[in-house]
Amino acid sequence: MDFDFTPEQLSFKQEIIKFAQNELNNNIIKRDEECIFPHDNWKKCAEFGILGLPFPPEYGGSHADIVTTMLAMEGLGYGCKDSGLIFALNAQMWSIQSPIWEFGSSRQKDKYLKKLCLGEIIGAHGMTEPDSGSDAFSLKTTARREGNYYFLNGTKTFVSNAPVADIFVVFATTDRSKGFMGITAFILEKGFPGLTVGKEIKKMGLRTSLMAELIMENCQVPIENRLGEEGMGAAIFNSSMEWERSCILGSNVGSMERQLETCIKYARERKQFNRSISKFQSVANKIVDMKVRLETSRLILYKIAWLKQRGQDAVMDAALAKLYLSEAWVQSCLDAIQIHGGYGYTTEFEVERDLRDAISGKIYSGTSEIQRNIIARRLGL
């Protein structure tokens, strides 16, 4: 494995860090408290080129390779304290833009992909339903074809970006008898007859990324808005998840590094019993464990980038990375709070927000339990 970054890649990472530190951290405590989606910062990220990173120039992207993309996401996580914004960007990039790019028709790419990359429209992904979460392919939403239209009926829940989205990639069954191979993906536009965005769902963390239900009641979808062929939904969904599991974690590695530096600084400055608390092994050891988690997470992450760059299967490695990084990030957040003591529990010190944001990583894009199932299967169990 070769993780040697070019000077250009490292310089681009530094540019992203500077951009994020200067432009994306404004009023974060207030925005988190009031669940405000940062439209302006979203536009700034698009203008900087983050949303278009791996996508072709003709669709507003810069065709960056996966290693550059992961490095950039790591820089974003380091510089940007708004994990909700980072999550929302990743949700759009990997579960909307990526499948449209990979499976969309020329018309769909022309109509949607460029606008998504340029931040002119926002996308949301609807898979989870009230009765199907981890067992994603047992979904109940149906799509019935009549002439040149499909009619979709069902409810999607936990749809990230839904309250601010202009388009939705939604999965429905077109033939229940075929099970997971009877699932088909569709691109829905806000304003399609029969499509309603439900009320916003409040949550523990990632509060600047808004979430809602999506209700389809005989929602009329033109046939040209079917994404891929009938029955390709599972392949499209799996492909999105592999990208998302790999790349969304890049930002977590950056956040872990920022948090480690914050803890080292605090532990050196904070004095108890006439000494810096960093001189007490119980504190120093926690920081050392955070460093070990950071470095092992980074290695796992860049192994995926290396595998995908070579066109190799990375399903198990993506599951390993998702499982390990999300749990490592939560543990480091708990350690960071403990190191900060009472201050760590306060909103003002911004350490507790990281923990609230981190916990979701063990749930979204497949829970830790599902990642273990994937790994077990790949081990032949």
Partner 1 sequence: MDTVNEVKNFIFSELAYDYPKDTISLEDDLLSQGIIDSMGIMQLVNFIEEKFGIRVTPEDVIPENFHSLQALKEFIEKKQKK
Q: Which residues are catalytic?
A: 244
The number of beta carbons lying within 10 Å of the beta carbon of residue 124 is 29
CB of 237 vs partner 1, minimal distance in Å? 9
Nearer to partner 1, 235 or 305 (CB): 235
For 315-346, give one letter per residue: b (16+ CB within 10 A) or e.
bbbbbbbbbbbbbbbbebbebbbebbeeebee
d(CA 320, CA 73): 19
Query: Please, are residues 76 and 84 in contact by the beta-carbon 8 Å criterion?
Result: no
Nearer to partner 1, 133 or 341 (CB): 133
- 3-state class percentages of the chain: helix first, strand second, coil last, to nearest 5: 60, 15, 25
CB of 40 vs partner 1, minimal distance in Å? 37
CB of 296 vs partner 1, minimal distance in Å? 26
CB of 179 vs partner 1, minimal distance in Å? 6
Residue at 65: amino acid letter: D
Nearer to partner 1, 103 or 364 (CB): 103
Residues in contact with partner 1 by CB under 8 A are 102-103, 137, 177-182, 228-229, 231-232, 234-236, 238-239, 313, 315, 373-374, 377-378, 380
Nearer to partner 1, 201 or 315 (CB): 315
For 9-35, give one letter per residue: b (16+ CB within 10 A) or e.
beebbeebbebbeebbbeebeebbeeb
d(CA 146, CA 143): 10
Nearer to partner 1, 192 or 243 (CB): 243
Query: Please, are residues 154 and 176 in contact by the beta-carbon 8 Å criterion?
Result: no
Q: Which residues pair with 142 in a beta bridge?
A: 153, 173
Query: Please, are residues 373 and 364 in contact by the beta-carbon 8 Å criterion?
Result: no
- Name the residue with tokens 């480690």: 260
CB of 6 vs partner 1, minimal distance in Å? 30
